[in-house]
Amino acid sequence: MLAAIFLGGQVLVHLLRGKIHRRNTLDQMAAVGPDSLFIALLTAIFVGAVFTIQVAREFINFGAGNIVGGVLSVALTRELSPVLTAVILAGRVGSAFAAEIGTMRVTEQIDAMLMLKTDPIDYLVIPRVLACCLMLPVLTLLSLVTGMLGGLIIATNIYNLSDTVFLDSARNFLDIWDIFSAMIKACCFGTFIAVIGCSWGLTTTGGAKGVGQSTTTAVVTALLIIFISNFFLSWLMFQGAGSAFVPEF
């Protein structure tokens, strides 16, 4: 963790100096975004469907079926979409970063870069940090839309709720701050995933066994940081009494 914090500071300093390798950044954005899109959307549609199943049956029993869409939209926007999408990227992208850079470390490719006066932070780390920071909010937004679609399908076909009522409820419950907070969370999570993955890769020792250990530890550490930081971000963003349910009553 100390190495990750130190690396994060180095990334910030290099970014302030404008040292960005554009071609590597675009390559990493393609690897993080489009290559992760299918699994992120598939997860989102089933999460939205399962959440609707659990919520709709209880709300209908209490005569509150008209707010199912709103509850789903709030849950997906504030928590489920940014957190679950970040978890997917931590497992898929964070592990890849640690494995790739760790392999370069144990095979002395990074030492060769230093001999050629190429800074590994500029060439390897910053493109990955920018890619995760920029693409995770996009994936989160698409996951939100897909999750709402999954919930809508279940609500209309299984519980016979009106699609108009479902969507109107979602529109009444959501606020622009909810969308904005999801993007902030996604950007923070993306930064954490990339920095932790790269830091474990750069500090890898012990050959192939060390690469495997770094990869596993990078994923576990990233998941812990995502859940811990999500608590503090939610606490800062949503203090006090909520007002999302007021328009319906």
Kindly state the average pLDDT of the residues 95-105: 91
Q: How many whole angstroms separate alpha carbon 115 and alpha carbon 231?
A: 43
Task: Using pLDDT thresholds of 50, 70 and 90, give the confidence band for residue 85.
Answer: very high
Domain ranges of the chain: 2-233
pLDDT category, 247, cuts 50, 70, 90? very low
Could you tell me the pLDDT band of residue 220, with boundaries at 50, 70 and 90? Answer: very high
User: Each residue of 17-54: b (16+ CB within 10 Å) or e?
Assistant: eeeebeebbeebbebbbeebbeebbebbbebbbebbee
Distance (Å, whole) CA 212 – CA 12: 28
| Structure token pair of residue 116 | 């050629």
Amino acid residing at 79: E
pLDDT tens column, 180-206:
999 999 999 999 999 999 999 988 888
pTM of the full structure: 0.89
> How many angstroms separate the Cα of 209 from the Cα of each of 66, 111, 205?
55, 20, 8
Confidence category of residue 243, pLDDT binned at 50, 70, 90: low
